[in-house]
């Protein structure tokens, strides 16, 4: 019997792995074709940084980087290198793309996780409390906050926070990840990074705080009106037990779902935030790669970002199954 029961689980895992591989393959090919079709020439951009070059040198560079081959050959070579773990060599930085990504992924993950988890936690708390007091000041505040968060562009929020908390009231640094003087102790370095992290994380988190507070409020209101909640109240359970033991567990299911689905949007939002605050992450690297037409670096960043989104969706699926026991492996 255990062998029979495990067969659907194995099939489900194999299907997921196959779909992930096909999705990553499609992402690789599509990214390559779109960048190939974009205007501009990577070699001409590189030559411009060098101050000019002869036609012979330009032809040699194009042959060196394989840009003189047909598109299908370039795609084939690129896919073969990716399978071997080689994302190419940066045209501008003259380093392996994997090395560049490895040096920038830490700051980006720090920014994204801090902003996203802070927004989810605080937004859920605000939404749950406002759902229990629908006509209270807190409920109206959540509504206004959600409208403001949806309306304001992320770069505008960053600029306003800089003007308020860095210029008018110099509380937080304007840009960068660490101070220029440098701190030798581990604790001092961590405090310095946290001090620089406040404004970027607050800028990115405010938009998602507005979204999750509104989502948690709507979901909680819907759950509190369900029949099983009325039954729990009729049995004489305390208000705390009804809200936090029965209602909250079902109310957070949409929040978990949207957290996984929005991870790609958080990455794109981090590009703008990192650019505004000169945060040394993948966002600034992608922005510089676009300006300098550094195609291998840009392709590597796009692929790695897609990989993070896929992994996040898998973790969300596993967490969803953990939270909601009604979901069975199909």
pLDDT at 159: 92
How many CA atoms within 13 Å lie on the side-chain side of 202? 18
For residue 260, give the nearest of 328, 215, 319 by alpha carbon. Answer: 319
Is the per-residue pLDDT at 210 higher than 80? yes
According to DSSP, residue 278 is labeled T
pLDDT band at 268 (very low <50, low <70, confident <90, very high): confident
- Supply the DSSP string of 36-81, one letter for each residue: HHSSS-HHHHHHHHHT---HHHHHHHHHHTTTTS-HHHHHHHHHHH
Averaged confidence pLDDT in the chain:
83
Cβ-based neighbour number of residue 329 at 10 Å = 12
The pLDDT tens digits for 104-127 are: 999 999 999 999 999 999 988 888
Which among 5-14, 63-72, 318-327 has the top mean pLDDT? 63-72
Rg (the chain; Cα; Å): 24
Q: Which of 129-138, 188-197, 229-238 has the lowest mean pLDDT?
A: 129-138
Average pLDDT over residues 208-226: 87
Torsion sign, CA atoms 33, 100, 271, 207? positive
Helices H / strands E in the chain, number of each: 15, 0
Dist CA 300 CA 39 (whole Å): 19
How many angstroms separate the Cα of 251 from the Cα of each of 53, 67, 95? Answer: 63, 53, 47
Domains in the chain with CATH codes: 2-83 (no CATH), 97-323 (1.10.3720.10)
Give the integer Cα–Cα distance in Å for 224 and 164: 40
| Long-range CB contacts for residues 260-266, cutoff 8 Å, separation at least 24 | 260/312, 260/313, 260/315, 260/316, 260/317, 261/313, 261/316, 262/208, 262/211, 263/112, 263/116, 263/308, 263/309, 263/312, 263/313, 264/305, 264/309, 266/112, 266/115, 266/116, 266/204, 266/208
Confidence band, pLDDT 50/70/90 cuts, at residue 330:
very low
Output phi, psi for 324, to 5 deg. -110, 100
Residue-level pLDDT at 138: 73
Residue 134 DSSP symbol: T
The percent of residues in the chain predicted with pLDDT above 90, rounded, is 20
Each residue of 228-245: pLDDT tens digit? 888 888 888 888 888 888
């Amino acid at each position: 019997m255990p062998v029979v029961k495990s067969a659907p689980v194995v099939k489900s895992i194999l299907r997921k792995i196959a779909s992930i591989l096909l999705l990553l393959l499609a992402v690789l090919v599509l990214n390559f074709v779109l960048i190939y079709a974009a205007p501009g020439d990577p070699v001409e951009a590189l030559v411009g940084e060098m101050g000019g070059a002869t036609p012979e040198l330009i032809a040699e560079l194009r042959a060196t980087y394989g840009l003189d081959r047909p598109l299908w050959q370039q795609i084939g070579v690129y896919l073969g290198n990716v399978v071997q773990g080689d994302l190419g060599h940066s045209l501008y930085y003259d380093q392996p793309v994997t090395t560049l990504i490895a040096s920038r992924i830490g700051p980006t993950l720090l920014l994204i996780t801090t902003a996203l988890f802070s927004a989810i936690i605080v937004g859920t708390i605000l939404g749950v409390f406002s759902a229990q007091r629908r006509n209270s000041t807190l409920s109206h505040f959540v509504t206004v906050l959600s409208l403001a968060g949806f309306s304001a562009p992320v770069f505008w929020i960053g600029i306003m926070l800089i003007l308020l908390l860095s210029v008018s009231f110099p509380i937080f640094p304007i840009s960068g990840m660490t101070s220029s003087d440098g701190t030798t102790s581990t604790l001092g370095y961590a405090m310095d990074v946290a001090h620089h992290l406040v404004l970027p994380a607050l800028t990115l988190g405010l938009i998602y705080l507005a979204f999750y507070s509104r989502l948690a409020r709507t979901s909680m209101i819907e759950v509190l009106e369900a029949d099983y909640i009325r039954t729990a109240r009729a049995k004489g359970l305390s208000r705390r037990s009804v809200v936090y033991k029965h209602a909250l567990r079902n109310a957070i299911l949409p929040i978990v779902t949207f957290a996984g689905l929005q991870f790609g949007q958080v990455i794109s939002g981090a590009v703008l935030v990192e650019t505004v605050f000169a945060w040394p992450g993948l966002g600034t690297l992608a922005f510089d790669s676009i300006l300098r037409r550094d195609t291998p670096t840009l392709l590597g960043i796009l692929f790695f970002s897609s990989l993070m989104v896929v992994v996040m969706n898998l973790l969300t699926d596993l967490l969803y199954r953990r939270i909601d026991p009604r979901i069975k492996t199909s």
